[in-house]
Structure 1
């Protein structure tokens, strides 16, 4: 019980050039053995601060262990970012998290095979402060993004008014009214034109520079080359999510202002195979560790039995002697 208590009352306070804090080391240990405690994670994390829970989610995502049960056992209403990219999280979970974490400002749902426009709609409906959204990144996620464009568009709720001056802001602002930055790798030309025409307030794939972008400072959450949840695990050793020789495959953002290239069927199958192989890698590593532990136990038992037999034989000889 020492580990949860230490985590509950300590925060990440590591400064550059200094060794990692004790709590960072504890979270790293927990992250390396995450698959062994997933069933009890809700009970273990009751007293954890919000940023520690978010760090565990980030580790789980990197280890390809993030799913509905895990994130719902850790969700905290004070979260302001949510990175579930490349995970098995579903619409149901995203909707529930959106209701609980209404203060979320940035979300990454890229490469999420099980997120559909229904989940995006729930996200936009409940997270009114959403400023940055990342999606796309694979054929299925790109399809979801294209079908979700209508959710981002502003709609006029009152069609009976005589003039625009008589309309309230609530009657005009419908959709993702606070969304400003959209990261969409390999965006197609039609979608890009639709966003430019119907959602001019949304800046697609901004390119950060010291001078800003169109006179605006691009927030760190909208930097394509930085994972959205990097900041919450900056003090934790990367070996935490490289357990059992498994290191998550890095995916290049490939964001540019040019239209995306349609992938061939063979390339889609190849990417699907690589994604499946990556998702199953932690399970293979876990099975390998279990087999190793079982072999060690069997060897220990075998050795103990051999010692017992030898001692019994020696005792018998001395008794008869």
Structure 2
């Protein structure tokens, strides 16, 4: 989780990274502001069966499909953080129907009178929804049709047991902060990053944290492979040009004319 948190802060978190790091023991998942898509989120949901708090806010690549799969397949999900960007807000609004409880011809005066088993679907485990820029219409729909879900809850001033809002549902916190509390924030600084400068100022390799080793290894590998990628690109370009000349009659004629012209000049 620490490596995933650092990768997210370094803006390196995508489907490949989160899938490779996902572990069955995870109960929290923070992919906010990342490039994780429906595919990556779906794979993590398959691996992490015990997720109880998830932050997908500002994830513009997560659509209604990923949102729906998360809510309906995470049976332990209690806290969901969403919205935060125009695209994410739009996706959340389109998914309001997922939160609504659905009945199978059950009688009752209110949702609170129903047992959990009487609800066919509708994110029955979800209790806390953090949506920073929720619009008035969406808030009204959730308040009237999804009374079990508290939207943008505030901590109880009395701290009564059973009524306290969990840490994961507070707007002021970042979900994955506890996983990186012992890691130097400079390790995920994006602007002005210089590998040599940072490496010389850090501790010896044996004293580096796991997250720092992961970050340095990634940057070192990317730097090492850059010349090879450039060489491959040039080779592919030349190969494409040769293939085009062989298949294009006019290009082939121009190439032959050029060779003949060179031969005549050499004889002269």
Shorter-chain-normalised TM-score: which range? 0.5 to 0.7
Which has the larger Rg?
2
What's the Cα RMSD here?
A: 2.8
Q: How many angstroms does 1:121 deviate by?
A: 1.1
How has the CA–CA distance of structure 1 residues 59 and 75 changed in structure 2, closer, same or farther, with 3 Å as cutoff?
same
Q: 1:212 to 1:173 in 2, by over 3 A?
A: farther
Give the deviation of 1:173 after TM superposition: 4.3
Task: Tell me the residue number matched to 2:8.
Answer: 61
Distance of 1:89 and 1:213 partners within structure 2 = 38
Instruction: Indicate if the aligned counterparts of 1:81 and 1:228 stay in contact, CA closer than 8 A.
Output: yes
List structure 1 runs of 4+ shifted beyond 6 angstroms. none
| 1:170 Cα deviation from its structure 2 partner | 3.3
> Is residue 96 from structure 1 mapped to residue 43 from structure 2 by the alignment?
yes
Matching residue within 91, 95, 102 for 1:148 = 95
Question: How far off its partner does 1:206 sit?
Answer: 1.2
Contact 2:156–2:163 (CA<8 Å) still a contact in 1? Answer: no
Query: 2: CA distance between counterparts of 1:125 and 1:183?
Result: 18
CA contact (8 A) 2:25 2:48 kept: yes
**Which one of 29, 33, 46 corresponds to residue 82 of structure 1?**
29
Q: Give the aligned partner of residue 257 of structure 2.
A: none
- TM-score under structure 1 length normalisation: 0.56
Q: Paired residue for 1:178, among 115, 118, 125?
A: 125
Contact 1:131–1:180 (8 Å) recurs in 2: yes
1:155-214 CA-to-partner distances (Å, cap 9, x unmatched) read 11x23x6x56xx984342412111111110111010000000000111111122442499
Shift of 1:58: 0.4
Task: Give distance in 1, aligned partners of 2:191 and 2:140.
Answer: 46
- What is the aligned residue count? 197
- Aligned pair 1:233/2:177, yes or no? no
Measure, in 1, the Cα distance between the counterparts of 2:177 and 2:10. 14
The answer to which of 175-184 and 189-198 deviates more is 175-184
Residues 218, 101 of structure 1: CA spacing in aligned structure 2 closer, same or farther, 3 A cutoff?
A: same
Distance 1:66 1:209, change over 3 A: same
Deviation at 1:216, TM superposition (A): 1.3
Equivalent position SS for 1:133: strand
Gaps of 5+ in 2: 109-113, 194-214, 228-268
Are 1:137 and 2:110 counterparts?
A: no
SS in 1 for 2:102: coil
- Match of 1:197, SS state, is helix
- Aligned partners of 1:148 and 1:219: how far apart in 2? 24
Alignment of 1:306-317 (within 5 A): none
Unaligned ranges ≥5, structure 1: 1-53, 247-281, 295-321
Alignment of 1:260-271 (within 5 A): none
| 3-state DSSP of counterpart to 1:245 | coil
Distance 1:214 1:206 in 2: 16
